[in-house]
Chain A
Amino acid sequence: MIELRGIRKNFGALRAVDDLTLDIGAGEIFGFIGPNGAGKSTTMRIIAGLISPDAGTAKVDGLDVRTQGDDVRRILGYMPDFLGVYDDLTVDEYLQFFASAFGLERRKRRAVVDSVLELTDLTFKKHAMVSSLSRGMQQRLGVARVLIHDPKVLLLDEPASGLDPRARIEMRSLLTELGRMGKSLMVSSHILTELAEMCSSIGIIERGKLLYAGSIKDAYARARGGERVSIRLEDATQGEHAATLVRGDERVQSASLEGDRMFVELTPGEHSHHFIIERLVTGGVRIASFTSVEVKLEEAFLKLTKGALQ
C-alpha cells in the first residue's frame, strides 16, 4: 500500500531522511520507531505530500505522491504530531468542515460524522467546542478527522503523545479496531510497548537511516539471536552442577547463574526445551520453575540499533 524507494531529504546541512526504502502492505499496522529527530515525521510528511523529497519516489496504493497528489489525498488520512484544531468550531462543525473539504455530499455528511464520532467515542461531545475538549479527546478528534473520508491508509504521527494511561489504552484499542477494519496504518511512536501490542510490523529509523523493517517476530528473532530460558533451582548450591549439566549439550550456547536462577541461552534456530529439563532431572537437580524469557521490543530496538550508526 505504501512504497518508498530511495527517499532522501535534506534540511540545509542536515540529512533528515537518507536513502529510505520501505514497503507497507494492505491491512498492515506498521509501527515506525525511532528517537526524536530520527526522521519519522519527515518521512510521514513526504508520504502525505506536504514536503517533496530531494530524491526517490513515494507511492500510496500505486499513486505517486508528487504527481498524483490529489488522488493520494483522497485515500490517505494524516494526523500530525502536533494536532492543530479550529477552536472556534464545535466538534460537529469541525468534522463537517473536513467532510466538506473532502467533497462528501452534504446529505451524507451527517451520517458519516455520527459514525466517526461513534467510533472514536466522542458522540457525547458532538456539540461541545473543540477548545473545551481534553488533550485525549482532542487526539481522538484528530483520529476522527482522518477517518472522515474513509481513507485506505492512515498516517498517525505520535497519536498517543501527551495522553494519560487510560487515554493511551483507549487510543491503542481504537487503532487496533481500525486495523481490524482493513486499513493500513503507519503509526510512529517512541513508546515501544504500545507498538508491540498492536503492530504487525515495525520499522526502526535512526538519524534518517532505516535500520530495520519487517515483522515484529523477525525483529525479536534477530534481536535475541537464540532463545533464553530461566530456571529457578530449589537448592541454590546445585547451581554449578546444573550449569555443567546443560553446557554439555550442543544446543546450549551459554549458561549463567544469578543467585538461585540459571539462565540458559540456546543456539539460534528452533529448539524444544524438554532436553534441558531431562538433563537436569536426570542429574538430580530439583527445579522450582522453568520459564522461557521473552525478548521485549525495547531490547530488540536496543540490539538492532546498537552500533548501527557508529
Chain B
Amino acid sequence: MSGATSASSMRPTPRVIRWLRALNPFTLAFNALFHAEVRSSGRKRGTYFLRFLAAGLVSGAMLLPAAGMAIGATESSGAERLQALQRIAPTVSGTIIWMTFIGLCLAAPVLTAPVVCDERRMRTLPALLTTPLTAGQIIVGKLAARLLHVIIMGLLPLPVLLAARAFGGVEAGVLAAAMGVVLATAVLAASLGVLASTWSRKASSASTLAVILLFAICVLPLLVLWTLMIRGVHISSGIVWLVASPIGVLGSFTARMAGQVGGTDPILIRGALLSIAINLSLAGIVAMLAAASLRRVLRAEAEGRTLAPPPRRRMRKGRKQTYALDAVVSAQDASSGGAGDGTGIAPRAGKRRRRAVRAGDGASSRVVGDHPVLWRELRPRARFFTAKRIVGAVLLAVLMSWITYEMWDQREALTTLISVVGMIIVCIIAGSTPAPSIAGEREGRTLDELLTTPLRPWSIILAKAAGVLRTQWMAPLILITYVAIVGVFAGSTHPVAILHLAMIVLIPIILLGGVGVLVSTSVRKASTAGAITTLVGVGLWAGLPMSVGILSAFFEAFVDTNEWFNGVMLINPVALAGTAVGSAGDDVMLQDLTYHMPSEAYTLTQFTTIIAADLAVASMIAALCLARAARILRPVSGRLAH
C-alpha cells in the first residue's frame, strides 16, 4: 500500500502545469541567471561608467541653456533671458527625450548583444545545458538583468525633465507618455539585441544587426504611412502606422511641444499608449523567437556542432560548398546517422552531415601573401550567396520595388528619402564595422601571437583599416544603384548626384573607420568599441545640430543662428546626401544646379568643394586616429625604443 502511495507521489507533473509554472513571470525573469547577471554587472566599472555617461549627456543638454544665458547676459535683460528660457524649455525637453531615445536605442542592443555571443566565445554554453533552466528562462533572465540597466539609464533624465517644467516645460502627462514610448522602444531594442546574439558569432555584429532591425521597425511604418497619404488615404486612418513607429509618435510629441502642430492631448496620449503596447508586444515576440533560436543553439552545442555562421573560407574549385554549421562533426557522429530525438529540431543527418564531415579535411588552402594581416583582411569571402543573404536581398528588392511602384509619380522625393535613410544605415554600419578590428583579436586571444611577430604596429593597423573599408561596400552600392536606377535612369535626378553620393558615403566610412580602429585598440571589448564609435557619429551628426538648436534660441535675437545650423549641416553626411539628391533635378542644366542648405544656396562647384573638403578633413582625422592607434599598440608590444 505504502509502495502504491509512493509510486503515485512520484508521478511526473503534467506538461500543462509545467508550462504554466514556466510562464510565471517571477520564475521566468527573476531566476538564478538574473541574480548572477545583476551581481556580476554590479562589480563592473563599465556599468557605472555608462550611467555616468548618460547622466553627463543629460547634464550637458541642461548646461547648454545655462551657458546660453550666461553668454547672452551682457546683451539682454533679466526678463528677456527668462522669456528665452521659457521659450526654450519645450525644446530642451524635446532634445533630452530624443537624446534618451537615441542613446537607449544604441545602448540597449550593445548591452544585450553579448548575451549569447559571449557564452559561445567563452565556451560556457554547454554549462548552461547542465542547469534545469529552459531556453526561455535563460533568455528572459538575461534580458531582464540587462533591461534593469537600460531602464535605470532611461529614468536618469526624468528629474531633469520634471525640473524643466518650472520654466514652462512640458506637461507631466505628455512627459510620462513620451518617456513610456522611449522605454518601450528600449525594451524592443534590447530584445532585438538578444535575438541577434543567438544568430551571430560576434557581439559587435549582433548589436549592429539589432540596431538596423530597430531602425527598420521605426522607419517602415512611416514609409507605409507616407505611401497611404500619397494615395489619398486620410491621416486618421493611418494613425496606427504613425504610432507603430516610435519615431512617428515621438515626432508628434516633439511637434506638439514646439507648438507647431495642434491636436488634443488625449489623442496623443492614446497614440502613445498604443505605441507602447505595440512595442512591448513586439519585444515579447522577439524574445520568444530568441528563446526558440537559443534552444536550437543549445541543442547544436549538445551535439557537438555550432550553429553560428561559419568562418570565411573558400573551397577548392569543383568541390561542393560545405554546409555552414559544423566544422566540428566527428566521424562517429557522421556514422551514427542522427536519429530524431523528439525535440522538434531536425538532426543534421544524411547529405548535410556528410558535407559537414568533408568540411574537416576536404578544403584546400590558399597561398598567404607577403603582408599576412592585409591578406587575411582582404581575402575574398567564400560563401557570399548564403540562404540568409538571398532571402534578405529578395525581401529588400520586393519592398523597394513596391514602394517605388506606389510612389512612381513622386520618385524625386522618394530618391531623396531613400538617400537619407540609406545614409543613416551607412553611418550605423560605419560605426560598428571597425569595432572588432583590434578588440576582436584581443577577445580571440590572438593579439599576443600577432604582437610577438616582427610585424610593425602601423602595418597591422593599416591592414585592419583596409579590412574595415573593404567590408562596407554593400550598403553604399545598394544606395547608389537605387538612386542611379530610380533617379538618374528614370530621369528625375541629375547624374552628378551619383558622383556626390559616392563622395558623401565615404565621409562616415573613412571618419568612423579611423576613429573605430583607434577605439578598438584602446578598449577591451569589441561591443564597447562599436558603441563608442557609433556614439561619436551620433554626437557629431545628431547631437551637434540639437545643441545648436538649443543655443540658437538664446542668440537668435543678436545673430543669424541659421548660419550656425547651416555650418553644422555642411558636415552632416545625411543632410548632404539629401541635398545632393534632392536638389539635383534632371531638368536643370549642370551649371544651373543649386543646392539648398538650411540658410544658404550653393552652386555645383561650391557644393562639390564642400563635400571634397569634408572628405579631406575626414581622411585627415582618420589618418591621425590610425597613427595614434599604431602608437598605442607599440608599447603593448614592447617596441619601446623604436
Binding site for B on A (CB under 8 A): 45, 48-52, 65-70, 73-74, 76-78, 80, 82-93, 96-103, 106, 109, 125-129, 131-132, 145
Contact = CB atoms under 8 A, between A and B. Distances in A.
16 contacts: A49-B637, A50-B452, A50-B638, A69-B640, A69-B641, A70-B454, A74-B454, A77-B452, A78-B448, A78-B452, A85-B446, A86-B446, A101-B450, A101-B455, A127-B364, A132-B360
A66 B638 contact: yes
Interface in B429-462: 441, 444-455
Contacts of A77: 452
B372 interface: yes
Nearest to A102: B453
Given A69-B637, A70-B639, A83-B445, A90 B363 contact: yes
B642 A70 contact: yes
A50 B640 contact: no
A49 B371 CA distance: 22
Contact of A73 (B369, B448, B453): B453
A68 B640 CA distance: 9
A128 B361 contact: yes
Given A88-B312, A126-B365, A129-B363, A50 B636 contact: yes
A83 B635 CA distance: 22
Given A100-B368, A100-B371, A131 B328 contact: yes
Given A86-B446, A98-B372, A73 B361 contact: no
Interface of B: 311-313, 327-328, 359-373, 375-376, 441, 444-455, 635-642
Nearest to B367: A96
A82 B635 CA distance: 22
B368 A80 contact: no
Contact of B311 (A69, A70, A87, A91): A87
Nearest to B328: A132
> Which of B362, B370, B452, B454 lies at the interface centre, i.e. has the most chain A CB atoms within 10 A of its CB?
B452
The residue among B370, B448, B639 with the most chain A CB atoms within 10 A of its own CB is B448
A69 B637 CA distance: 9
Contacts of B328: 131-132
B449 A84 contact: yes
Given A97-B375, A132-B360, 10 more contacts: A48-B638, A49-B452, A67-B641, A69-B642, A76-B452, A96-B372, A97-B368, A98-B372, A127-B361, A129-B311
A178 B558 CA distance: 80
A14 to B, nearest CB: 17
Nearest to A157: B448
Contacts of B640: 52, 66-67, 69
B449 A52 contact: no
Q: Which 5 A-B pairs have the closest CB atoms?
A: A49-B638, A84-B445, A88-B311, A92-B365, A96-B368
A132 B327 contact: yes
Contacts of B642: 69-70
B456 to A, nearest CB: 8
A238 to B, nearest CB: 58
Contacts of B366: 93
B317 to A, nearest CB: 14
B454 A73 contact: yes
Contact of B372 (A65, A78, A101, A128): A101
A70 B454 CA distance: 6
Nearest to B373: A101
Contacts of A90: 313, 363-365
Most buried by A among B362, B454, B636: B454
Contact of A127 (B365, B445, B449, B635): B365
Instruction: Count chain A CB atoms within 10 A of each CB in B376, B449, B641 and give the residue with the most.
Output: B449
A299 to B, nearest CB: 35
A83 B374 CA distance: 22
A127 B363 contact: yes
Contact of B454 (A91, A102, A126): A102
Nearest to B442: A84
A102 B373 CA distance: 12
B355 to A, nearest CB: 13
B445 A82 contact: yes
B313 A129 contact: yes
Given A52-B635, A129-B311, A100 B370 contact: yes
Contact of B313 (A68, A78, A84, A88): A88
Contacts of B362: 127
A96 B453 contact: no
A100 B376 CA distance: 12
Interface centre among B360, B368, B447 (most CB of A within 10 A): B368
A102 B452 CA distance: 9
A49 B362 CA distance: 38
B572 to A, nearest CB: 37
A128 B450 contact: no
Contacts of A48: 448, 452, 638
Contacts of A106: 367, 370
